[in-house]
Amino acid sequence: MSNESSKSSPVIKPWEHAKAGEGSAADPLAARFVASLDYDTRLYKQDIAGSRAHAAMLHAQNLLTDEDLSEINRGLSEIESEIDEQGDNWSGWNVELEDVHMCVEAALVAKTGDAGRKLHTGRSRNDQVALDLKLWIADAYHSIDKKYTNLIEAFISLAEKDGEVVMPSYTHLQRAQPIVAGGELMAWTAAIDRAQQRLAALVHSYPENPLGSGAIAGSSLPLNRDMTAEVLGVGPASMNSIDGTASRDAGIDFVYALSMTAMTLSRWAEQWIIYASTEFSFIKLDDLYTTGSSMMPQKQNPDMLELVRGKVSGVYGQLIALLTMTKGITIGYNRDLQEDKRFIFTAYDAVCDCLDMATNIVKTTRFKGEHIAAKLNEGFLDATSLAEYLVNRGVPFRTSHQIVGSLVRKCQADNLTELSDLTIEQMANASKEFNVTFDKDVYDWLTPQNVVKRYQSSGNSGLPGFKAQLAHWKNVLANNDN
Ligand code: ARG
């Protein structure tokens, strides 16, 4: 939408009649500076829904006639279809009217005259915008919720293809214990599921309807706030009119939950950037999601993953902006609060894109099982399993840890890459001082391929744990569909 006014002389804002002079529309910079129209037009549906509910309540309280109500509803429906069709080109958008609320109301007055002039009875833009934002967050939540599920489905489907590939796990980015790829994919699934649950919990945590709070103090008219709350389905009327108009907690909670999602996605992106490097070569990204270099002809850079990681900084920025915006203002509406929507929409759009992009990447990536297998013998991944073998033979864990440490040292001294390269005699000799024996079944506890089958603890990231978790998530998804 254009920030320029289409008219040559500025409008007198319908709410600035107390001014003797021209008012704030006369200076184009002031008109643009005070306006939120370049971002709040996306609230038009919520604004119209709020107005319909408010009008129905005013009518029930005998503050609107039957005819007023039907005129208002007719006008609002026409405006909604016009904006649906014309979007940014709708002729009612006028920056001198500051925002979506005033543009819709001015168009309504133009269509319906006095009926439209009565709509703002007992209402202020302060409770109106607080309501609109709550309604928008509820709608936005419904759209983004499915994106989490799509990503979880993508992780599940990759796990079904490549989940049994045996690979190293890493702590401190050093080889730790063997796992299967599916074990790690289930880790991302659990984290994304939690991010989805967190968003749901925060969005639903304080269902309150600010409408009817007016500008700050409420109204001397007999507004029925419970009625609008019921019509709008946003929860009960907020307890206090000052808090109802001053609070932006719902927006901040929303962006906090989005920030946690972005953080999780960024962490995943970082992991896969490493996995896609030549040094690791654990995964192959689809060509769709890599880019070339303008200078180096061979390059296939994981730019999409890097941008998932990069965009999180902007999302955090919006959260900090919201927290900073609210920290210094008195309890009641201050115009600073108008900026909230800019921050909330920006964070939301970025996280929506990141979730969609992550889904597309996960859907098309494959684990390079053979490449991973070729180096699986490096790093003594089975050392912990060998210590647990000794625990099963009655050796205290601290002692078995020490024994296996000395066996690793022996391998390194003898240029053996793997613990399974040691004979039973060599094992016994190297740990003579501890008086332990080894049977040939020790080899069942060695090699990453054997170890991933042995994990028993619930939630493990080896083969049994992966299979159990995969079954769990498939069940969850099947029940979601019902
Ligand atoms: N566009 C404004 C906002 O988003 C509407 C509220 C203006 N209220 C006022 N008292 N000036 O916050």
* Same domain for 315 and 252: yes
If asked whether residues 399 and 354 sit together in one domain, one would say no
What distance in angstroms lies between residue 140's CA and the mean position of ligand 1's atoms? 21
Span 313-357, pLDDT tens digits: 999 999 999 999 999 999 999 999 999 999 999 999 999 999 999
Ligand 1 center from residue 342 Cα (angstroms): 13
Domain identity same for 431 and 459: yes
Q: Which amino acid is at 407?
A: L
| Beta pairing partners, 237 | 209
The answer as to whether 169 is a domain residue is no
Last residue of a domain, one of 374, 400, 426: 374
- For residue 457, being part of any structural domain is answered with yes
Can you tell me which atom of ligand 1 is nearest the CA of 100? 1
Query: Are residue 392 and residue 275 in the same domain, yes or no?
Result: no
Would you say residue 267 lies in a domain? yes
Instruction: Tell me: do 109 and 134 sit in the same domain.
Output: no
Which residue from 373, 382, 370 is spatially nearest to 454, judged by alpha carbons?
382
Judge if 111 and 233 occupy the same domain. no
Domain range enclosing 16: 4-121
Within a domain: 266? yes
The DSSP letter of residue 238 is P
Looking at 172, 220, 457, 458, which residue is catalytic? Answer: 172
pLDDT averaged over 10-residue windows placed end to end, the chain, 482 residues: 48 76 82 95 98 98 98 98 98 96 98 98 98 97 98 98 98 97 98 98 93 97 96 93 97 98 98 97 95 80 96 98 97 97 98 98 98 96 96 95 95 95 93 90 97 98 98 95 64
Measuring from atom 12 of ligand 1, which residue has the nearest CA? 338
Are 210 and 158 in the same domain? yes
Residue with tokens 């206090």: 240
Number of domains the chain is built from: 3
| 309 and 422 part of one domain | no
Q: In this structure, is residue 304 part of a structural domain?
A: yes
pTM to 2 decimal places: 0.94
Question: Is the Cβ–Cβ distance between 55 and 73 less than 8 Å?
Answer: yes
Q: How many CA atoms lie within 13 A of 224 on its CB side?
A: 15
Could you identify the residue written with the tokens 């319908």?
14
Q: Whose CA is nearest to atom 3 of ligand 1?
A: 338
User: CA dist 100 to 40, 104, 134, Å?
Assistant: 6, 6, 15
- Between the CA of 228 and the centroid of ligand 1 the distance, in Å, is 21
pLDDT at 3: 44
Across the chain, what does the average pLDDT equal?
Answer: 94
Whichever domain contains 297, its CATH number is: 1.20.200.10
* Burial class for 414, CB neighbours closer than 10 Å (0-12, 13-18, 19+): exposed
d(CA 372, CA 369): 5
Residues 229 and 252 in one domain: yes
Residues lining ligand 1, judged by CB closer than 6 Å?
36, 40, 98-99, 125-126, 129, 333, 335, 337-338
The last residue of a domain, from among 327, 357, 374: 374
Distance CA 165, CA 159 (A): 9
Give the separation between CA 381 and CA 171, rounded to whole angstroms.
Answer: 12
What beta strand segments (E) does 213-308 contain? 283-284
Model pLDDT, residue 482: 57
Q: Nearest-CA neighbor of 152 among 398, 359, 431?
A: 359
Q: Is residue 247 annotated as part of the catalytic site, yes or no?
A: no
- pLDDT at position 25 is 75
pLDDT of residue 6: 43
CA angle 377, 383, 389 (to 5 degrees): 125
For residue 8, report the distance from its CA to the centre of ligand 1, in Å.
25
Closest C-alpha residue for ligand 1 atom 5 = 125
pLDDT value for 166: 98
pLDDT of residue 10: 62
116 shares its domain with 156: no
- DSSP assignments along 371-388, one per residue: HHHHTTTTT-TTHHHHHH
Query: What is the pLDDT, as a whole number, of residue 2?
Result: 44
Ligand 1 pocket, mutate which of 24, 38, 47, 126 (most atoms under 8 A from CB): 126
364 found inside a domain: yes
In angstroms, rounded to a whole number, what is the distance separating the alpha carbons of residues 362 and 184? 13
Return the CATH number at 14. Answer: 1.10.275.10
The verdict on whether 172 is a catalytic residue reads: yes
Domain's final residue, options 322, 348, 374 = 374
CA dihedral 79, 85, 89, 93 (to 10 degrees): 20
439 Cβ neighbours under 8 A, 6+ residues apart: 424
In a domain, 170, yes or no: no
Are 363 and 397 found together in one domain? no
66 and 198 assigned to the same domain:
no
Residue 330: Cβ-neighbour burial (10 angstroms; 0-12, 13-18, 19+): exposed
Residue 74 covered by a domain? yes
Q: Is 80 exposed, middle or buried (0-12, 13-18, 19+ CB in 10 A)?
A: middle
Question: Domain of 391: which CATH number?
Answer: 1.10.40.30
Half-sphere exposure of 138 (CA within 13 A, CB side): 19
